[in-house]
């Protein structure tokens, strides 16, 4: 039996066919999707929930799981009146989206997966364990530096003017949600390998080729495992919305347009 997290604080914008957004670990709906929201809401109803410990959603009292998050995100769609929707998942949100799409194919009209995960490999497991240890110690300064090294491409990070690096670290420190350790735990225990063959919705897999946090091989595995999935690459690190927001939005909007979603 799945233990469902507390009802998720959810932003609903626009009108039209529904888009259900699932954000990444250590993020929020606003942090991960704010560059996309105005454009997506022009022709769609955008439903953007925050996981426990992100945004206005209280931190969970029990360990988070992909099943529990999937149930909670689906409940957010129900509360917004969306019977069917296109799922847009990023990082941890791809695990949540794949689980929903596999279990509720009648509700999912499309699927967009960016910086996707099938099952965490050794590098990702080590990374989220470092996250959790640093945050347990309250060492946000080291967490910010580690995030800079793993979340952003070499080109982006080295391109920061030297007099702005400390400000960059500060921005990262100030943006860490309280629920990050719990969300990292959900990543560490996830495995959606068996779900891929059950997905029937049109699917776009977007692979950040400079991703040092989640291996690009994970995106290729998603695309190979989902029948008919489209696969595209974007030259960026993991934090796509910071490095290439316009390119990311174009890929998503083109997919929605081509499939009449």
- Residues 203-257: pLDDT tens digits? 999 999 999 999 999 999 999 999 999 999 999 999 999 999 999 999 999 999 9
211 is catalytic: yes
Q: What's the pTM value of the predicted model, to 2 decimals? A: 0.96
Q: How far apart are CA 61 and CA 128, in angstroms?
A: 20
- The sheet carrying 108-114 orders its strands as 10-14, 45-49, 18-22, 85-90, 108-114, 203-208, 230-234
Q: How far apart are CA 17 and CA 210, in angstroms?
A: 32
- Residues 130-160: pLDDT tens digits? 999 999 999 999 999 999 999 999 999 999 9
Could you give the domains of the chain?
10-122+178-258 (3.40.50.1820)
- Residues 84-95: pLDDT tens digits? 999 999 999 999
CA neighbours closer than 13 Å in the CB half-sphere of residue 177: 27
142 is catalytic: no
Active site residue: 23, 26, 182, 238, which one?
Answer: 238
Active site residue: 26, 54, 91, 153, which one?
Answer: 91
238 is catalytic: yes
DSSP 178: T
- pLDDT in the model for residue 2: 43
Active site residue: 54, 195, 211, 219, which one?
Answer: 211
């Amino acid at each position: 039996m799945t233990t469902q997290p507390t009802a998720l604080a959810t932003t609903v914008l626009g009108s039209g066919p529904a888009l259900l957004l699932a954000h990444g670990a250590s993020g929020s709906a606003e942090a991960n999707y704010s560059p996309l929201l105005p454009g997506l809401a022009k022709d769609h109803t955008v439903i953007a929930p925050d996981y426990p410990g992100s945004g206005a959603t209280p931190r969970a009292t029990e360990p988070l799981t992909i099943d529990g998050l999937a149930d909670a995100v689906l409940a957010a769609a129900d509360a917004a009146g969306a019977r069917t929707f296109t799922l847009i998942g990023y990082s941890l949100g791809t695990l949540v989206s794949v689980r929903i799409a596999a279990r509720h194919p009648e509700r999912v009209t499309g699927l967009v997966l960016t910086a996707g995960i099938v099952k965490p490999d050794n590098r990702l497991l080590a990374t989220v364990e470092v996250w959790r240890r640093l945050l347990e110690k309250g060492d946000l300064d080291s967490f910010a530096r580690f995030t800079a090294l793993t979340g952003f491409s070499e080109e982006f990070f080295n391109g920061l003017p030297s007099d702005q690096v400390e400000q960059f670290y500060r921005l990262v420190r100030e943006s860490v949600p309280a629920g990050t350790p719990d969300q990292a735990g959900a990543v560490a225990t996830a495995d959606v390998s068996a779900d891929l063959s059950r997905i029937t919705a049109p699917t776009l897999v977007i692979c950040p080729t400079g991703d040092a946090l989640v291996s690009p091989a994970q995106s290729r595995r998603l695309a190979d495992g989902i029948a008919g999935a489209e696969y595209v690459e974007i030259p960026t690190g993991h934090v796509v919305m910071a490095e290439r927001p316009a390119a990311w939005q174009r890929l998503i909007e083109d997919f929605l347009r081509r499939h009449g979603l």
